[in-house]
Every structure is written in C-alpha cells, then in structure tokens.
C-alpha cells in the first residue's frame, strides 16, 4: 500500500475538495508507486490563499529575528533528517544520493542564512535636505507569495524561495512540481514542526495548469516566485501582468564550457563530466555545450568520449552509480528526439545515443550519456535546451569565437572557461553574456549565499540566493520624520 499524502491549508492536512488523487512513481523502477497526492483545483487554491491572507496580518508583526529563529530550527531539523530526505528524493526523481544529499544541504545552508538575515534585513538611513528631519527607507513584507517550483532541485529551490519569503514577513502558498510532491510535503512538515503558525505556509498539490495557473490568476496573490521552463514562465508573466503582480522568473539554460588550448585538460575533463551528466543533465545550469579550442579538439574530445562511455547508469540509491534515470517518460522521449534531430542535422553521435538497456535498467527511464561531436552553432542541438544527458561539442579557432559561440543562444544562465591564461579568463568574465561565469570550474555548483539567476530569456532580472533575493520579497517603505515643529517644504524652503 502506498502512502496517501494531503494538502496543508490553514494549519490542517486535508484532501482535495474533489477527492481526486494522482500517483507518484520511482523513475528508476516505474512499477513502484511512492504515494498518492491530492489532485487539487481552483477551489483548494482559493481556500489556501484565504488562509495565507488571514495569517499575513499577524505574521507580519512577528519580529523578524523571531521569524529567523524558526528558520534556524528548520535548519536543525533538516540536518537531523538529511539522510532520510536524500533517500526519499532519489526515489522520487532519480538523481544519485551524493547529489540529493547536496540538494538537502543547500536547503540547510539557506535556512541558516535566512536565520541570520532575520537580524539584518538592513534598510538605509540618509540625511534629509531639510534641518531637523530624519529620512530612512525600511523593508516591509509584500503579502501573500505563490511559490511554483520544478522537480530537479525539489528541496533546494523551494527553500531558496520560501525561507526568504517567510523571514521577510510574507505568507506562502506552495505549488510544487507534480513529479516531486513527497519532498515538498516533507519540507512543509519540517516548517510546521519548527513552529511556523497555521496559515503562514500552505501547500496545494496538483497540475500546473490547474493549481499553478489558479495562483497566477488569483487577485489576492501579491508575489509569484517561479522556477521552471521559459515557455511556462512567459505564460505566467503574461497572465500575472493583468493584476500587476510582482513576478520572479528563473527559467531555462543552454550553458557552455569553453576549453582553451592552455587549459589543464584533466581538470576540464572532470568538470565537463560533472557538468553534463550530473543530475542526468537535468539542471538549469547543466553543461549542454562543450566549446573546444581547435589545437586540443581531437585530444580532448576523445578523453570525454572515453570517460562518458564508462559512466555507470543505475538506481541513484545504489553505491557506485554515476548517472540516474531521466525523471519521467516524456523527458526521456524529448532527449531521444533531440539526439535524432542532431543526427539529421549532421552531428556525429560519438558516445551513447540510445535508450539504455541492460541489467536493472529495463523498468526505469534511463538514457545513455550521449556526446554529439562536430556540432555547429546553427544546429538546434546547439541552441535549444534538451534537459538530459546530451553534450553537444563545437570546435572554435579563437577565444573570441569561443565567447561568440557561447553567447549565441536565447538563454544566459551559466558559463564556464578552462584556461591558465589570466587574460583569457578576465576577457571571458567581461564578455560572456550570462548571470554566472565559472573559471576553471564547471557550469554547475551554485553556493546558497551568492546571487543566482540569468540574463536574456533565462529570467526577468531578479536574482535568488544570498542577499539579493530579499529585494524581491520585500517592499521599500520610505519614511520622513520631521521634528522641526513647523511645516518644511522640500525643494522650496531650502532652495
């Protein structure tokens, strides 16, 4: 018997009003049902938003350091439950245990950062242009936040959004990805255990176009923090503009690692394998393109091919497995269709290129780690996000060409260059059009206390992580205190 999960609304665990449910299965063993979850609708969203709106009136008055103390307790509970949460996440979405532990750790780091931010939330004091007058700008909570998240970082991404939202004094309605509802439920259980009052955090499970869109359209939602695909992000932006909601969008990527002829090739090899095939290539920051400088193209390509073929596919909870399955059947179909597109465009499949078969793999959504060589920048496999274990390799003749190729995409999330020449490194830092640039490190590896986000169609200019996310979750209130005892007119009495 699989476990039955529920929504959490106004401090109570409840079923969807319709009574309908959906199943969640293990992508490494698709015949294993992990649980059933409420298939909610607009009526469940309405109730959750009402609860969050009511709770906002008292939560906003709780001193921020006290809200931060709750986040510290959250971090402590997550630390205690780390191994169990990681195992559940591997079963739910497939990435290897090493990585799901990292995903939980990112949540822990974010909790402790949020705890300390409760004692900062700095504003500004600024001199007045008039005598006997005091000027300041302080941060205020915004209201009710809708949090809509993807399945590839099922703990880390919700924590990046929910913890700063709460410390800032907002209340939350959380709609997690349908592929990872159990991890999301565990996060809510932890928040409740740590002392978040009823109504402050609510979770409503269900489909994107039903539950997600109902939140986006809802007149009583003030903020939307969304991470997911660029196509859904655009739709959200369009619909939310009708009610002038504040919207933060973290969307797709087509990230490239550049390898120059002076690079340490062994280091670059480790980087590209981790970047391209970690999380089965299903990261917004995954290394999807490898741009190699001509003098080392043949040598480095054969190093990559050799190692890719040796990567071990399997259930992410087994020791020694390097690459887990794709998250679901659709995702694997997309990956396979892009490999066919690459072939027809003239790319050479030099590793992988097929659905994986073999011992223990027949009931999972496995795909061989795939390398496409002789890719040119016009090909679709060089431009479009694949979101799977596929690396497109492109040859370039110079640093300028490498940077131009790296920039030749509608996305702008992460970028990387391997070089030992400091001049190359700094030119790349200046000229790569991306929110993140790594030097001598792969395109993945964000740290929780640093700004995270991208340019171009990767987002709409906001940043998560570190101190920057607090700009999204707070509203500036400008305060003037006149203690002169008389009317003082700015721009008039002091001119």
* Residues classed as catalytic: 250, 284
Q: Which does 214 bind (CB under 5 to 8 A by kind): Mg ion, ligand NAP, none?
A: none
Stretch that binds ligand NAP, among 40-48, 137-145, 172-180, 426-434 (CB under 6 A): 172-180
Pick between residue 199 and residue 206 the one whose CB is nearest to ligand NAP.
Answer: 206
Q: Which of 10, 135, 229, 407 binds ligand NAP (CB under 6 A)?
A: 229
Token representation of residue 424? 């190359």
State yes or no: residue 437 binds Mg ion (CB under 5 A): no
State yes or no: residue 457 binds ligand NAP (CB under 6 A): no
User: CA-to-CA distance for 315 and 361, rounded, in angstroms?
Assistant: 8
Give the containing element (helix H, strand E) for 258.
strand 255-259
Pick between residue 107 and residue 212 the one whose CB is nearest to ligand NAP.
Answer: 212
Edge-first strand listing for the sheet containing 29-38: 3-4, 29-38, 21-26
Stretch that binds ligand NAP, among 90-98, 121-129, 174-182, 483-491 (CB under 6 A): 174-182
Smallest distance from ligand NAP to CB 473, Å:
16
Angle, alpha carbons 419-420-424 (nearest 5°):
60
Maximum distance among all Cα pairs of the chain, rounded to whole angstroms:
85
Stretch that binds ligand NAP, among 13-21, 142-150, 313-321, 361-369 (CB under 6 A): 142-150
- Per DSSP bridges, beta strands 348-351 and 370-373 are antiparallel
- What part of residues 170-189 is at the interface with Mg ion (CB under 5 A)? 179
Smallest distance from ligand NAP to CB 414, Å:
9
Q: For residue 436, give the nearest of 463, 457, 409 by alpha carbon.
A: 463
Smallest distance from ligand NAP to CB 297, Å:
28
Q: Which of 37, 151, 366, 418 binds ligand NAP (CB under 6 A)?
A: 151
Q: Give CA 10 to chain center in angstroms.
A: 27
Q: For residue 71, give the nearest of 120, 106, 112 by alpha carbon.
A: 112
Q: Which does 322 bind (CB under 5 to 8 A by kind): Mg ion, ligand NAP, none?
A: none
Pick between residue 67 and residue 462 the one whose CB is nearest to ligand NAP.
Answer: 462
Give the containing element (helix H, strand E) for 350.
strand 348-351
Pick between residue 88 and residue 458 the one whose CB is nearest to ligand NAP.
Answer: 458
State yes or no: residue 24 binds Mg ion (CB under 5 A): yes
User: CA-to-CA distance for 127 and 393, rounded, in angstroms?
Assistant: 56
Give the gyration radius of the chain's Cα atoms. 24
User: CA-to-CA distance for 409 and 411, rounded, in angstroms?
Assistant: 5
Smallest distance from ligand NAP to CB 240, Å:
10
Q: Which of 197, 207, 360, 451 binds ligand NAP (CB under 6 A)?
A: 207
Q: Where are the beta strands (DSSP E) in 109-253?
A: 124-127, 133-141, 144-148, 171-175, 201-203, 223-227, 246-250
State yes or no: residue 213 binds ligand NAP (CB under 6 A): yes
User: CA-to-CA distance for 416 and 436, rounded, in angstroms?
Assistant: 8
Pick between residue 151 and residue 274 the one whose CB is nearest to ligand NAP.
Answer: 151
**Binding residues vs Mg ion (CB under 5 A):** 24, 179
Q: Which residues bind ligand NAP (CB under 6 A)?
A: 148-153, 175, 177-179, 207-209, 212-213, 216, 227-229, 232, 235-236, 250-253, 284, 385, 387, 413, 458
């Amino acid at each position: 018997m699989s476990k039955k999960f529920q929504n959490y609304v106004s401090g109570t665990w409840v079923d969807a009003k319709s009574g309908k449910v959906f199943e969640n299965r293990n992508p490494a063993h698709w015949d294993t049902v992990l649980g059933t979850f409420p298939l909610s609708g607009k009526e469940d969203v309405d109730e959750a938003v009402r609860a969050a709106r009511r709770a906002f009136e008292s939560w906003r008055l709780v001193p921020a350091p006290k809200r931060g103390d709750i986040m510290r307790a959250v971090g402590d509970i997550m630390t205690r439950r780390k191994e169990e949460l990681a195992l559940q996440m591997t079963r739910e979405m497939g990435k290897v245990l090493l990585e799901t532990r990292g995903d939980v750790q990112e949540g822990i780091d974010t909790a402790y950062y949020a705890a300390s931010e409760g004692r900062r939330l700095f504003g500004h004091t600024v001199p007045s242009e008039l005598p006997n007058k005091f000027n300041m700008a302080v941060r205020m909570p915004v209201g009710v936040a809708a949090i809509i998240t993807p399945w590839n970082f099922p703990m880390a991404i919700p924590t990046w959004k929910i913890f700063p939202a709460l410390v800032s004094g907002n209340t939350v309605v959380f709609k997690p990805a349908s592929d990872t509802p159990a991890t999301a439920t565990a996060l809510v259980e932890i928040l409740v255990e740590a002392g978040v009052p009823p109504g402050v955090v609510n979770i409503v499970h269900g489909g994107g176009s039903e539950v997600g869109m109902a939140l986006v359209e809802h007149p009583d939602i003030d903020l939307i923090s969304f991470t997911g695909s660029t196509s859904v992000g655009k739709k959200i932006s369009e619909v939310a503009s009708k009610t002038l909601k504040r919207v933060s969008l973290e969307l797709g990527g087509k990230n490239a690692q550049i390898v120059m002829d002076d690079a340490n090739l062994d280091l670059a090899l480790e980087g590209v394998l981790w970047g391209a095939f970690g999380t089965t290539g299903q990261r917004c920051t995954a290394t999807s393109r490898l741009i190699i400088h001509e003098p080392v193209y043949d040598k480095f390509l054969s190093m990559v091919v050799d190692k890719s073929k040796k990567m071990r596919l399997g259930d992410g909870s087994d020791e020694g497995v390097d690459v887990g399955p794709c998250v679901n059947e659709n995702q694997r179909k997309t990956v396979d269709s892009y490999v066919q597109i690459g072939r027809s465009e003239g790319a050479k499949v030099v590793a992988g290129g097929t659905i994986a078969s073999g011992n223990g793999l027949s009931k999972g959504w496995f795909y061989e780690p795939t390398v496409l060589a002789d890719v040119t920048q016009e090909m679709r496999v060089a431009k479009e996000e694949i979101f799977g274990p596929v690396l497109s390799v492109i040859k370039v003749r110079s640093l300028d060409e490498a940077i131009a190729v790296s920039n030749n995409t509608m996305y702008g999330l992460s970028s990387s260059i391997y070089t030992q020449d400091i001049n190359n490194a700094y030119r790349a830092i200046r000229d790569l059009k991306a929110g993140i640039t790594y030097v001598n490190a792969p395109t993945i590896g964000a740290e929780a206390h640093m700004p995270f986000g991208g340019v171009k169609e990767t987002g709409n200019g906001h940043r998560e992580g570190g101190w920057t996310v607090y700009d999204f979750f707070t509203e500036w209130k400008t305060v003037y205190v006149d203690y002169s005892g008389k009317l003082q007119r700015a721009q008039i009495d002091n001119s």
